[in-house]
Structure 1
Amino acid sequence: MTSSFLELPPEDRGASPYTGYTRAHWEAAADGLLDAAWKWSTPGRAMLDLPGRPSGSGVRSDGLEGYARTFLTAAFRVAGAEGKDPHNWLERYADGLRSGTRTAGSDDAESWPLIRDHTVFGQPMVESASVAIGLRLTRPWLWDRLDSGTQDRAEEWLRDALRHTPAPNNWYLFPFSVAGFLESVGRGDAETARARQRALDLLEGWYRGDGWYADGDGRAFDHYNGWALHLYPVLDAHLSGDTELAAHYGARLREHLESFGLMFGADGAPMHFGRSLTYRFAAGAAVGMGAVSGHTPLSPGTSRRLISGSLRYFLDRGAT
């Protein structure tokens, strides 16, 4: 079966009667998306310069975004397969990390832009979280195999996320995620601890009950609830084995899924709501995080029905 440029396996209505999608479909979708994006890589693999009009952050930040966001896909893909990487995705991201951090901030084709305050040049802070989570998920197969110089340069680049001001919303979870990665590889200190505690304190203030957060102060409710405000703290607790944090934030995720699990149509479409309509493509993240961590009221079959239905909804309608 083909969906645009994605080559998917035949449907399996025996294992998956509603969507026909199995794990093989998810892996094929991830590989197809990655393959398409990597056609636009720079020679040193530090940037993925996707076609189209540049964003307001500029082409260099956009190129880093192409690298970082696809790295999330590759990292979950390889970690979920327990390190099996038949397309050698991680080799590409390792090369890009070396190239991007070698002279970070320089004006050349490969060097990553530096991380600054959100009011100045903040978009790289967003991407730092994806880089950090990708490295954390794939540590045995990527980070642990890097030379010490590359590791040090990567840390130096990432630490700027801890030293600059995020936007007053879910952005505080980006330095939180960077700090969690640095601590997981033995590079934690007072600075990482401060970034983590600051984010958790803000989360408490944004919690509105019934499993829902506002995205910052006020009444900003949108798909960042599941994609960021639940995903990052629960994933961090899951990866670190912190049972206290897992219990606290996992209980909120469980309660969130009680209502959010009803926000998908029979055709798989996540509901339109809030400002983050693009992130409807990531709406299944909260459902998946609940299934992985065990903090969900949904049966495994229901979770699979929701996330596979959502993926199929987008692929069948030309999202790619």
Structure 2
Amino acid sequence: MPFGNRDDWAATADQLLLAVRPYATPRRALINLPGSRPSRSGPRSDGLEGFARTFLLAALRVAGAGGHDPLGHLARYAEGLAAGTENPVPDRELTTEAPESWPLMADVRQTVVESASLALALRLTRPWLWDTLDERTRARAVDWLLPALGPSPVDNNWWLFGLTVAGFLQDAGIETDRARATIDRSLARVEEWHLGDGWYSDGPNRAFDHYNPWALHFYPVLHAHLAGDRDLLDRYGPRLHAQLEAHTRMFDANGAPMPYGRSLTYRFAAAAAPWLGALTGHTPLT
């Protein structure tokens, strides 16, 4: 399908978001997509992942339209946020008790990953979603997100999940000192892995893979952009530019991303770095 302009991309986003609606739970806190066995994190975590990843798409879709949301995407995710944080549970299984509650971050490590998508989506849509929520719902959501401000449980790009949660909380004026400390700690850890020419290793063990453009560049550059932090953008923006100098060589003539390293199935993320370069002006690409 040829894409001529933003309207084409927006229509595709809407189609994807409409397609997952039948798989949402009644209060929309979980999206249980069919066709696969539960992951090791359990079906409740998988349902949260379905919610969080599609919420990120909805947030980008609506924020890019300046809040215009004719299909009511954000209202559904606001309802799900309220239901998921109402009574978080420590178990991994779906049970008759609290059937739509999200798992606690201390119990299921995968929730740290999903917290970043949730926080970024809330940050992108704050005037149209977060600022309209009642105080009790916001307080419960903050309580659920706060554990992400601790040290990363995995010593790789996972440090950037705490950065992303902290960026939202700092913007919203919540736990700002703790959020600032998390931002500084996370960026300092990732800084140790930058090896020049726009390349990071994904951790201290020279692990080079697709996470370089779509995580290790994506989260710091987008955080700097959303925060309006010129110093950070002056640091990370040129690195993204350098990465994009060679980025087109990572794709086949038909547009398929070259398989290398880990993370071979994340096709949706392949456009993240070129898109971010275009958004922030740090790109050599036309």
TM-score (norm 2): 0.94
Q: CA deviation digits over 1:101-126, x for unaligned, max 9?
A: 1111265211111112xxx6200000
How far does residue 267 in structure 1 lie from its aligned partner after superposition?
1.4
Correspondent of 2:101 among 111, 125, 135: 111
- Assess, with a 3 A threshold, how the Cα gap between structure 1 residues 20 and 154 changes in structure 2: closer, same or farther: closer
Question: For residue 73 of structure 1, what is the aligned residue in structure 2?
Answer: 57
The aligned runs of 1:175-214 (5 Å cut-off) are 175-214=162-201
C-alpha distance in 1, partners of 2:64/2:237?
20
C-alpha distance in 2, partners of 1:72/1:295?
23
Question: For residue 93 of structure 2, what is the aligned residue in structure 1?
Answer: none
How far does residue 37 in structure 1 lie from its aligned partner after superposition?
1.5
How far does residue 225 in structure 1 lie from its aligned partner after superposition?
1.1
C-alpha distance in 2, partners of 1:88/1:237?
29
How far does residue 164 in structure 1 lie from its aligned partner after superposition?
5.7
AA matched with 2:102: W
Gap regions ≥5 residues in structure 2: 91-96
Correspondent of 1:88 among 59, 69, 72: 72
Correspondent of 1:156 among 129, 143, 159: 143
AA matched with 1:281: F
- Contact 2:58 / 2:74 at 8 angstroms: preserved in 1? yes
Name the SS of the counterpart of 2:223 in structure 1: helix
Question: For residue 62 of structure 1, what is the aligned residue in structure 2?
Answer: 46
Q: CA deviation digits over 1:185-227, x for unaligned, max 9?
A: 1113332122111111111111111101111111211111111
1:143 has 2:130 as partner = yes
Identity among equivalent pairs (%): 56
Question: For residue 288 of structure 1, what is the aligned residue in structure 2?
Answer: 275
Q: CA deviation digits over 1:230-275, x for unaligned, max 9?
A: 1111111111100000110011101110111332233111211111
- Assess, with a 3 A threshold, how the Cα gap between structure 1 residues 72 and 198 changes in structure 2: closer, same or farther: same
Q: Which runs of 4+ in 1 moved over 3 A?
A: none
Q: CA RMSD in A?
A: 1.4
C-alpha distance in 2, partners of 1:36/1:258?
36
C-alpha distance in 2, partners of 1:248/1:259?
19
Question: For residue 26 of structure 1, what is the aligned residue in structure 2?
Answer: 9
AA matched with 2:213: G
Question: For residue 36 of structure 1, what is the aligned residue in structure 2?
Answer: 19
Question: For residue 254 of structure 1, what is the aligned residue in structure 2?
Answer: 241
Name the SS of the counterpart of 1:219 in structure 2: coil
AA matched with 1:112: W
- Assess, with a 3 A threshold, how the Cα gap between structure 1 residues 113 and 259 changes in structure 2: closer, same or farther: same
Name the SS of the counterpart of 2:265 in structure 1: helix
- Contact 1:114 / 1:160 at 8 angstroms: preserved in 2? no
Which range moved further: 105-114 or 68-77? 105-114
Correspondent of 1:265 among 232, 252, 256: 252
Query: How many residues end up aligned between the 2 structures?
Result: 279
AA matched with 1:49: N
C-alpha distance in 1, partners of 2:155/2:89?
25
TM-score (norm 1): 0.84
Name the SS of the counterpart of 2:195 in structure 1: strand
C-alpha distance in 2, partners of 1:178/1:147?
20
How far does residue 165 in structure 1 lie from its aligned partner after superposition?
3.8
C-alpha distance in 2, partners of 1:261/1:243?
27
Question: For residue 115 of structure 2, what is the aligned residue in structure 1?
Answer: 128
Name the SS of the counterpart of 1:150 in structure 2: helix
How far does residue 293 in structure 1 lie from its aligned partner after superposition?
0.6
How far does residue 20 in structure 1 lie from its aligned partner after superposition?
4.4
Q: CA deviation digits over 1:136-165, x for unaligned, max 9?
A: 000111011111111111111000111364
How far does residue 167 in structure 1 lie from its aligned partner after superposition?
1.0
Question: For residue 314 of structure 1, what is the aligned residue in structure 2?
Answer: none
C-alpha distance in 1, partners of 2:152/2:277?
30
Q: CA deviation digits over 1:272-292, x for unaligned, max 9?
A: 111110123311100000000
- Contact 1:125 / 1:161 at 8 angstroms: preserved in 2? yes
